[in-house]
Amino acid sequence: MTTGEALKKTKRQLHDSGFKLTPQREATLLVLLENEKDHLSAEEIFFFVKQKSPEIGLATVYRTLEILSDLKIVDKVSFDDGVSRYDLRKDGAKHFHHHLLCLECGNIEEIDEDLLGNVEEIVEKRFHFAVKDHRLTFHGICQQCQRKHQES
Ligand SMILES: [Zn+2]
Ligand SMILES: [Zn+2]
């Protein structure tokens, strides 16, 4: 999906929920789309937004991120540093993707497959808990770091 298509889709999502894609929201969303592979904090998003649209304030970016996460267009996620980061939900994904966090280089890889369908069923049955979503981060050593160990 191109950035233009993604933007159009989000515009529709916002519209269906009674929100407009204001220039401020569009600027925030563009930063998220352009840095899809990164996991940016609100401050980092604000930094990029400001480079293009200096008139937009941090509070507006925060508010936009709240709306986008309420609508499940982005997901809030935090890793070892405890900072809230924002992650675009993959197109059509019912669940948030999983992360592989490398403890050595800090690299974060994403897994799109859900893998947890059965686990959710078990949780629902055993704990009578209506599961809406889940967060899963594997902590370990990435392939590149493993190779480095083998070489040395
Ligand atoms: Zn992610
Ligand atoms: Zn690594």
Show me where the domains of the chain are located. 1-91, 93-152
Ligand nearest to the CA of 32: 1
Distance 38 CA to ligand 1 centre (A): 7
Tokens coding 16: 């269906």
pLDDT, tens digit, for every residue of 33-62? 999 888 999 999 999 999 999 999 999 999
Distance 127 CA to ligand 1 centre (A): 28
Please give the share of the chain, as a percent, with pLDDT higher than 70: 98
CATH code at 93-152: 3.30.1490.190
Q: Is the pLDDT of residue 116 over 90?
A: no
Ligand nearest to the CA of 105: 2
Map tokens 């996460």 to a residue. 69
Distance 77 CA to ligand 1 centre (A): 8
Name the average pLDDT for the chain. 90
Distance 152 CA to ligand 1 centre (A): 31
Please, which contacts does 143-146 make with residues 24 or more away whose CB atoms are closer than 8 Å?
144/105, 144/107, 145/102, 145/104, 145/105
- Our CA dihedral for 109, 114, 115, 118, rounded to 10 degrees, sits at 150
Distance 106 CA to ligand 1 centre (A): 13
- In the structure, what pLDDT confidence band is assigned to residue 7 with cuts at 50, 70 and 90? confident
The answer to whether 142 is annotated as binding is yes
Record the pTM: 0.81
Instruction: Average the pLDDT over each of 27-36, 108-117, 142-151 and give the range with the smallest value.
Output: 108-117
Domains 1-91 and 93-152 in one fold: no
Is residue 69 exposed (0-12), middle (13-18) or buried (19+ Cβ within 10 Å)? middle
Distance 152 CA to ligand 2 centre (A): 15
Class (C level, CATH) for 1-91 = mainly alpha
First to last CA, the chain: 41
The answer to whether 102 is annotated as binding is yes
**Phi, psi of 127, deg, nearest 5:** -110, 5
- Residue 92: the pLDDT is 65
Residues 6+ apart with CB under 8 A from 83: 41
Helices within the chain (DSSP H only): 3-16, 23-34, 42-52, 58-70, 117-127, 143-151
In the sheet that 137-140 helps form, which strands lie side by side, from edge to edge? 108-111, 98-102, 137-140
